């Protein structure tokens, strides 16, 4: 067992807020003496079916606590998801249907198993307590927070000043998240930096109920592949943990050299001393940043899939970009069509290589579309619909299109 100070140093890696280090030290010291594991809470709202690398930053922090002998309390927010977390939003989130939440919760549970030690994970759904609450109890909970305190929150304050509507149910969300901490008796709660207000509410509710307040650790929001906005599926800058291994590898290789170090800090298990050493070597021109990035891509694909698949993804990347070869296996899509020709922009959309007609046209004009080895830059170009063709969009997206008569 590492000393308490060594444990804290390890846990502080990639952490922005720690409230407070003294509390955490005392709790870890108590665990060392009494062997009673800390209950480390992380709440996730199943608002989408997949998790991406941005989600894994805080999940890995929870795994760190588990590896030190503690219990991870993973709360699936099937009730908080109905409200929608207002953190970091500029408008009210659309409310989800219960059927969507349940479906998303199922995939969340399946995917977090790639990261967490499930033998040391307690899964809870906050419908366990919220579904049983009387309306009088909801009013009582709402009375624990003033409007003035809510408006201290940065995102609410900005929306209020701009005249952007804030719905009453959004004020309920931080109280619901805080109430979760009360119900599971959390010793520690983890969250992204945008969750700090909600986590502090949990401390307040615990104090008022006579519980020892939870220690708070927040982690940064991982930038997406664009290097500007936080990773988000809706912003199309995410790297999913459930996608094809070679896609994860390729997307990691596509990030900028500067962003690479951010990913190393938040996602890699490489010691910080080694990261700093590599940074210095790259800066001095003694090490190619591409080599370092390939090591990061290999590490992450191996972690979420396997060493064999990581090696395959690395070989595929090398074949496509270094040897200019086609991938050994191509994803196929069948297009049923009775016309003898199809406009290239429509083809790109039907092949699921562009999300809209506008995006397809943009890709064509940029010279990002190659069909059967021929670069296509005319948006009005027509493709014969006979047999099958191979499409390449961008540097790494290949599709085999099989045409079929209706």
User: Is 285 within a domain?
Assistant: yes
CA atoms within 13 A on the CB side of 181: 32
Question: Is there a single domain that holds both residue 48 and residue 160?
Answer: yes
Same domain, yes or no, for 139 and 262?
Answer: no
Whether 281 and 188 share a structural domain: no
Per-residue pLDDT of the chain (406 residues), as tens digits, is 679 999 999 999 999 999 999 999 999 999 999 999 999 999 988 777 778 999 999 999 999 999 999 999 999 888 888 876 666 555 555 666 667 777 777 777 788 888 999 999 999 999 999 999 999 999 999 899 888 888 888 778 888 888 888 888 888 889 999 999 999 999 999 999 989 999 999 999 999 999 999 999 999 999 998 888 888 876 778 898 887 888 898 889 888 888 999 999 999 999 989 999 999 999 998 999 889 999 999 999 999 999 999 999 888 888 766 555 656 556 778 888 888 888 888 888 888 888 788 888 888 888 888 887 678 888 888 888 877 778 888 776 777 788 888 7
User: In terms of domains, do 300 and 187 share one?
Assistant: no
Alpha helices, H only, 12-134: 21-34, 53-67, 80-83, 98-112, 127-130
In a domain, 76, yes or no: yes
Whether 149 and 179 share a structural domain: yes
Please report the pLDDT score of residue 25 as a whole number. 96
Indicate the pairing of strand 369-371 with strand 374-376. Answer: antiparallel
Last residue of a domain, one of 172, 201, 219: 219
Does residue 377 sit within a domain?
A: yes
Whether residues 148 and 251 fall in one domain: no
Q: Residue 97's pLDDT is what?
A: 65
Backbone angles phi, psi at 130, to 5 degrees: -70, -30
> Do 305 and 343 fall into the same domain?
no
* Strands 188-192 vs 39-44: parallel, antiparallel or unpaired: parallel
Domain annotation covers residue 238 = no
Residue 342 lies in a domain: yes
For 73, counting Cβ atoms within 10 Å of its Cβ (0-12 exposed, 13-18 middle, 19+ buried), the class is buried
Do 311 and 359 lie in one domain? The reply is: no
* Integer Rg of the chain from CA: 24
Looking at the structure, tell me whether residues 317 and 340 fall in a common domain. Answer: no
Number of domains within the chain: 3
Overall size of the chain counted in residues: 406
Q: Is position 397 within any domain?
A: yes
Per-residue model confidence (pLDDT) at position 87: 63
Give the long-range contacts of residues 158-162, CB within 8 A, separation 24 or more. 158/90, 159/90, 159/91
Where a domain ends, among 255, 286, 321? 321
Residue 271's domain spans which residues? 245-321
pLDDT score recorded for residue 34: 92
Give the pLDDT of residue 235.
Answer: 75
- Tell me the CATH number at 168: 3.40.50.620
Domain annotation covers residue 130: yes
Say yes or no: 257 and 168 in one domain: no
8 lies in the same domain as 119:
yes
The reply to whether 240 falls in a domain is: no
Structure tokens at 182: 């009360």
- Write down which residue in 298, 321, 344 finishes a domain: 321
CATH number at residue 357: 3.10.290.10
3-state secondary structure at position 8: helix
Residue appearing with tokens 């094809």: 244
Q: How far is CA 272 from the centre of its chain?
A: 22
pTM for this prediction: 0.76
Are residues 73 and 143 both part of a single domain?
A: yes
């Amino acid at each position: 067992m590492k000393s308490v100070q060594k444990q804290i140093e390890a846990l502080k890696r990639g952490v922005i807020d720690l409230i407070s280090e003294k509390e955490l030290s005392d709790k870890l010291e108590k665990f060392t003496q009494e062997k009673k594991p800390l209950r480390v809470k992380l709440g996730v709202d199943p608002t989408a079916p997949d998790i991406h690398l941005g989600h894994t930053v805080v999940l890995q922090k929870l795994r760190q606590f588990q590896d030190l002998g503690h219990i991870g309390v993973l709360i699936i927010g099937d009730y908080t998801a109905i409200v929608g977390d207002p953190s970091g939003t500029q408008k009210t989130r659309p409310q989800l249907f219960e059927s969507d939440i349940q479906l998303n919760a199922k995939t969340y549970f399946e995917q977090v198993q790639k990261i967490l030690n499930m033998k040391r994970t307690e899964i809870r759904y906050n419908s366990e307590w919220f579904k049983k609450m009387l309306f009088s109890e909801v009013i009582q909970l709402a009375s624990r927070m003033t409007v003035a305190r809510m408006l201290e929150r940065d995102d609410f304050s900005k929306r209020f000043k701009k005249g952007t509507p804030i719905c009453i149910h959004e004020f309920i969300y931080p109280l619901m998240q805080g109430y979760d901490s009360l119900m599971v008796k959390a010793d520690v709660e983890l969250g992204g930096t945008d969750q700090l207000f909600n986590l502090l509410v949990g401390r307040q509710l615990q104090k008022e109920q006579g519980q020892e307040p939870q220690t708070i650790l927040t982690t940064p929001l991982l930038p997406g592949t664009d290097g500007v906005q936080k990773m988000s599926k809706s912003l199309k800058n995410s790297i999913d943990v459930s996608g094809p291994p070679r896609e994860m590898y390729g997307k990691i290789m596509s990030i900028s050299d500067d962003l690479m170090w951010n990913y190393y800090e938040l996602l890699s298990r490489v010691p910080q001393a080694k990261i700093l050493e590599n940074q210095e070597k790259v800066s001095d021109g003694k090490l190619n940043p591409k080599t370092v990035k390939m090591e990061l891509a290999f590490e992450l694909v191996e972690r979420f899939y396997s060493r064999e698949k990581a090696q395959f993804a690395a070989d595929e990347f090398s074949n496509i970009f270094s040897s200019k070869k086609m991938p050994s296996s191509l994803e196929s899509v069948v297009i049923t069509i009775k016309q003898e020709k199809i406009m290239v922009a429509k083809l790109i959309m039907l092949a699921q290589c562009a999300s809209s007609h506008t995006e397809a046209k943009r890709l064509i004009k940029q010279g990002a579309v190659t069909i059967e080895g021929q670069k296509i830059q005319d948006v009005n170009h027509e493709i014969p619909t006979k047999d099958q063709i191979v499409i390449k969009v961008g540097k790494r997206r290949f599709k085999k299109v099989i045409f079929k008569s209706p």
